[in-house]
Amino acid sequence: MNFFAVLQTEALKLRRSKITWISLVFYVFFALMAYFVLWIIKNPELARGLGLVGQKVNFVSSGLVADWRGLYTFFAELCVMGGMILYSIIVIYLFGREYAEGTAKNMLALPVRRSYFVLAKTCVGLAWYALLTFFLLAEALLVGAALGLGAPSWELVVGESADILVGALLVCTLQPLVAWVTVASGGYLAPFGYTIATLIVGNLMIRTDWARWCPWSIVALLSGLMGPRDETVLLGSTLVLAATFVIGMGGTILRQSRADNCQ
């Protein structure tokens, strides 16, 4: 069995899986959240009538404006912060379901290079997350139209969409470590705990000088969520993310290659 056969098999496993639709529902919820927040900012009188003035003050104090740039800024935050959680769930499902469903012993006993399974699951996860990201970009246009923001300039749409795609790409570099924890623990619980812990660490480090060396903080820094990108930390932080990806992939492949199929 070659790699493409393994890749096709991993993709076919999702045909009747409910989690693919659940992940789509999450992104629909993100769009509804964005609409609600910007609607409050854009309609202060109606918000006051609904008792939402306090929320409007909070959003305004954060610098969010009800225009196309503000809309894309909010979607970028959803893509990066929400994507870090949702993509981790996708990876945990792809790599952990074999252990949760008791099929890992069958998968590891097949006369196939075990690295193929890791690469195939990684590719399926990337494709899955890419489709969700492009779906989010389409939702941004729909939300802007629903809010009556007018026609955006082509330059703004392309530029802001490119920033969101960069943020999504940065999120992808962190996921092999989640896969490593998943296959090493042989289940769902440990990688979920790992994901929560890394988010906490990233939030704690983001305001410190060490943020440029912390992978979970670098994603926010380089995606522009913390303001304009600091070009002086671009190279070093990019190398940290690249090393994070390589270490995660190498660790996952090594773990699977040496694993006993009796588990």
Spell out the SS3 assignment of the chain: CCHHHHHHHHHHCCCCCHHHHHHHHHHHHHHHHHHHHHHHHHCHHHHHHCCCHHHHHHHHHCCCCCCHHHHHHHHHHHHHHHHHHHHHHHHHHHHHHHHHCCCHHHHHHCCCCHHHHHHHHHHHHHHHHHHHHHHHHHHHHHHHHHCCCCCCCHHHHHHHHHHHHHHHHHHHCCHHHHHHHHHHHCCCHHHHHHHHHHHHHHHHHCCCHHHHHCHHHHHHHHCCCCCCCCHHHHHHHHHHHHHHHHHHHHHHHHHHHHCCCCC
CB 62 within 8 A of CB 55: no
76-134 per-position pLDDT tens digit: 888 888 888 899 999 999 999 888 888 888 787 788 888 999 999 999 999 999 999 99
> What amino acid is encoded at 38 in this protein?
L
What tokens were used for 165?
Answer: 């795609």
Whole-number percent of the chain with pLDDT over 70: 86
**Confidence label for 139 from pLDDT (cuts 50, 70 and 90):** very high
Q: How far is CA 229 from CA 65, 157, 162, in A?
A: 21, 19, 14
What's the N-to-C CA distance of the chain in angstroms?
23
What pLDDT shows up at residue 230? 55
CB 248 within 8 A of CB 172: no
For residue 241, what pLDDT band results from cuts at 50, 70 and 90?
very high
Please, which residues have CB within 8 angstroms of residue 225's CB and are 6 or more apart in sequence? 76, 77, 80, 81, 167
> Where exactly are the structural domains of the chain?
3-258
In terms of pLDDT, which residue wins out, 45 or 151? 151
Q: What is the mean pLDDT of the chain?
A: 84
pLDDT of residue 17: 83
- In this predicted structure, what is the pLDDT of residue 54? 47
Q: Mind listing the pLDDT tens digit for each residue in 30-39? A: 889 888 888 8
| 155 or 46, which is more confident | 155
Q: Are 213 and 127 in contact (CB under 8 A)?
A: no
Highest-confidence range of 103-117, 194-208, 237-251, by mean pLDDT? 237-251
Does the structure show a pLDDT above 80 at 223? no
Q: CA 16, CA 21: separation in Å to the nearest integer?
A: 10
